[in-house]
């Protein structure tokens, strides 16, 4: 029989907006910054875990298998099994889901599952012509051949390609993620005014959560090597309004597009961890669970409309557990783009879409906006790709505890045409 799986604790770094050049922390640095205080407050030693699983998309060359590097730096022991998972935006949630299944099936009792990403460290890549030039120069025999090869260099061979820009472009449809949000917005008639209003509300909610202390115990202060400290998500703009956001130009589809820098998720660095445990581990270490993972579901769809991934993953999850949208009291739907979030809400409320695509008897209904992303989301705090799926689960658990709600869902769209969803219940 499947065993219950509990989330007993978790923490994350502040999400730091990428500006010019690499930020103060690498992916593993970030994982260690929030991992140390998390492990330090546990009633067991760091080597008590069965394994470590970490989501990361932009792995840097100096940190191959960042899960293992982080585990060693966290003092979890040389015999700690640790591996890295990558499913684009879903990587941080995939780490939790993998740990959940290991524990549920009896293969582990306690797992540290996380996500980390330093998008400011995304590489610049040489064009293929430049790579071929370097290869020719390296393999040329003799001084004459090397000089001949050197003179073949053209300025375009040295023009770098922004790795992050290529990484956020689908290799099959050749649409970047912002363009896929435009497609979803067009399909469901989402207006620019609606998107800007949603984005402004995201900033307002995060600013309120910060000032009210709702993130205390979730966000750990990070300290850089030069002595600076970072204690809050620094991308929040409390003064944002729909009117000020309306002045920004579309980024991806000029001049008529809906998606701007103001109503899109921010490019940030950040990490997050959660501790998952079986009932046996809870009893052994006298832990107090915060919530239980009930079920999870992954779905796939056309990459050109990847923004609808939450709809495609949540709907079967609800069906399997005999639930409706209204039965879920608290929602975390990752804010990749305001237009995309609003497109998902519109899809669930569209009778034709629900009948023809979701195979429902009619429209699924509406999600009360007061239950959705109650403390803001990626538009206001950022979207470090490999981390966000972990953060929304962690924050969902904490928000449910604060609000006294019983049931919640964390869900996200995933680049490449995927979606992930996780059903959580309070204990």
Catalytically annotated residues: 89, 383, 413
CA–chain centroid gap for 350, Å, is 27
Distance between CA atoms of residues 305 and 340, nearest Å: 9
- Report the relative pairing of strands 229-230 and 222-223 from DSSP bridges: antiparallel
DSSP string, 61-81: GGGSSHHHHHHHHTT--TT-E
Q: For residue 14, which of 172, 193, 235 has the smallest C-alpha distance?
A: 235
Distance between CA atoms of residues 93 and 422, nearest Å: 8
Q: Verify cis geometry, omega within 30 degrees of 0, for the bond prior to 255.
A: yes
Distance between CA atoms of residues 139 and 352, nearest Å: 62
Distance between CA atoms of residues 361 and 243, nearest Å: 39
- CA–CA–CA angle 214, 219, 220 (5° rounding): 140
Phi then psi for residue 62, to 5 deg, are -85, 0
Q: For residue 420, which of 340, 92, 412 has the smallest C-alpha distance?
A: 412
Distance between CA atoms of residues 212 and 396, nearest Å: 17
Cα–Cα distances (Å) from 213 to 218, 400, 401, in that order, read: 10, 15, 14
Distance between CA atoms of residues 264 and 266, nearest Å: 6
Overall size of the chain counted in residues: 427
Residue 348: strand, helix, or coil: helix
Distance between CA atoms of residues 128 and 54, nearest Å: 31
Q: For residue 344, which of 411, 423, 389, 251 has the smallest C-alpha distance?
A: 411
Q: For residue 124, which of 173, 84, 99, 158 has the smallest C-alpha distance?
A: 158
Residue 203: which residues within 8 A CB-CB, separation 6 or more?
236, 237, 238, 240, 376, 379, 380
Cβ–Cβ < 8 Å for 182, 176: no
Distance between CA atoms of residues 407 and 227, nearest Å: 41
């Amino acid at each position: 029989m499947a065993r219950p799986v509990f989330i007993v604790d978790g923490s994350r770094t502040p999400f730091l907006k990428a500006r010019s050049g690499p930020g103060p922390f690498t992916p593993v640095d970030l994982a260690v910054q929030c991992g140390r205080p998390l492990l330090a407050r546990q009633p067991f030693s760091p080597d008590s875990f069965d394994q470590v699983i970490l989501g990361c998309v932009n792995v840097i060359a100096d940190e191959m298998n960042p899960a293992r590097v982080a585990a060693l730096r966290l003092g979890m022991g040389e015999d700690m099994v640790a591996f890295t998972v990558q499913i684009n935006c879903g990587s941080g949630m995939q780490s939790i889901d993998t740990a959940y299944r290991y524990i549920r099936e009896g293969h582990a009792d306690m797992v540290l599952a996380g996500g980390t990403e330093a998008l400011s460290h995304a590489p610049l890549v040489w064009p293929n012509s430049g790579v071929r030039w370097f290869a020719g120069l390296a393999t040329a025999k003799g001084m004459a051949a090397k000089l001949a090869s050197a003179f073949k260099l053209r300025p375009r061979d040295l023009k770098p390609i922004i790795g992050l820009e290529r990484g956020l472009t689908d290799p099959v449809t050749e649409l970047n993620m912002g363009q896929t949000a435009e497609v979803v917005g067009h399909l469901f008639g989402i207006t620019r005014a609606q998107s800007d209003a949603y984005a402004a509300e995201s900033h307002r909610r995060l600013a309120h959560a910060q000032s009210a202390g709702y993130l205390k115990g979730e966000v750990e202060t990070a300290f850089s090597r030069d002595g600076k400290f970072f204690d809050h998500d620094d991308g929040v703009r409390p003064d944002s309004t729909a009117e000020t956001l309306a002045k920004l130009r579309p980024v991806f589809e000029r001049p008529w597009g809906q998606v701007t820098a103001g109503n899109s998720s921010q490019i940030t660095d950040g990490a997050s961890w959660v501790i998952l445990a079986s009932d046996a581990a809870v009893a052994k270490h006298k832990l107090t669970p915060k919530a239980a993972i009930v079920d999870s579901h992954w779905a796939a769809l056309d990459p050109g409309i990847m923004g609808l991934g939450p709809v495609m993953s949540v709907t079967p999850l609800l069906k399997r557990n005999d639930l409706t949208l209204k039965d879920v009291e608290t929602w975390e739907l990752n804010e990749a783009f305001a237009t995309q979030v609003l497109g998902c809400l519109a899809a669930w409320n569209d009778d034709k879409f629900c009948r023809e695509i979701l195979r429902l008897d009619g429209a699924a209904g509406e999600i009360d906006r007061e239950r959705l992303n109650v403390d803001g989301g990626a538009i206001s705090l950022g979207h470090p790709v490999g981390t966000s799926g972990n953060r929304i689960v962690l924050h969902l658990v904490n928000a449910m505890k604060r609000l006294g709600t019983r049931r919640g869902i964390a869900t996200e769209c995933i680049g490449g045409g995927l979606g992930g969803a996780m059903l959580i219940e309070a204990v």
